[in-house]
Amino acid sequence: MLGLIGGITGIVSFIISLSFNIYGVFQNRFQALSEYYSMDRDVEFVKARRKIYNLEENQISEDASVSMLISMFHFYGLMVKKHRLPFYIFKSASGLAVVKMYDKLKPTISMRRKDNKYYAEYFEWLYNKVKKYNKL
């Protein structure tokens, strides 16, 4: 009888801990979504994106805006690849923004990859995934 009670208690404990773990995963994904959308309201990020969108490829120079954008899109790619940020965010205009931004920043990324072969690798991964999804 005591073994049965111990077994039931173990099963209940397992179910409760599993429930909390699943809840934690969803909470982390929601927090990642929240942070992603809050970046769209960040003044510096918006200015940097606007600046790059309005320039021609041959006008893009090395500055803080370029580094910040490459780092942020690299981070988004990492988060999507590790399933912390859902890919469905990039199945709309956000995905096309990734493609446009990567195309504009590709010469800078290629130049920096001469020193670091892993530079912006998740940005490139996200770019390829979005292009494949949108058949671009």
Predicted confidence (pLDDT) per residue in 11-39, tens digit: 777 777 767 666 666 666 666 656 665 66
The label of the residue with tokens 């041959």 reads 58
Range of the domain at 2: 1-31
Q: Which residue has the higher pLDDT, 47 or 106?
A: 106
Number of domains in the chain: 2
Same domain, 18 and 64: no
Same domain, 44 and 97: yes
Helices 121-134 and 93-112, axial angle in degrees (round to 10): 140
Report CA 124 to chain centroid distance, whole Å. 11
Q: Of 29-33, 52-56, 102-106, 130-134, give the lowest mean pLDDT range.
A: 29-33
Q: Which residue has the higher pLDDT, 88 or 3?
A: 88
What's the CA dihedral at 31, 33, 35, 36 to 10 degrees? 160
Same domain, 51 and 17: no
- The pLDDT assigned to 72 comes to 86
Q: Which of 64, 30, 62, 59 has its CA nearest to residue 45? A: 64
Over residues 123-128, the mean pLDDT reads 94
Same domain, 56 and 92: yes
Same domain, 13 and 50: no
Same domain, 20 and 50: no
For residue 45, give Cα distances in angstroms to 17, 29, 50, 117, 125: 39, 22, 9, 25, 21
- The pLDDT assigned to 26 comes to 63
Same domain, 105 and 78: yes
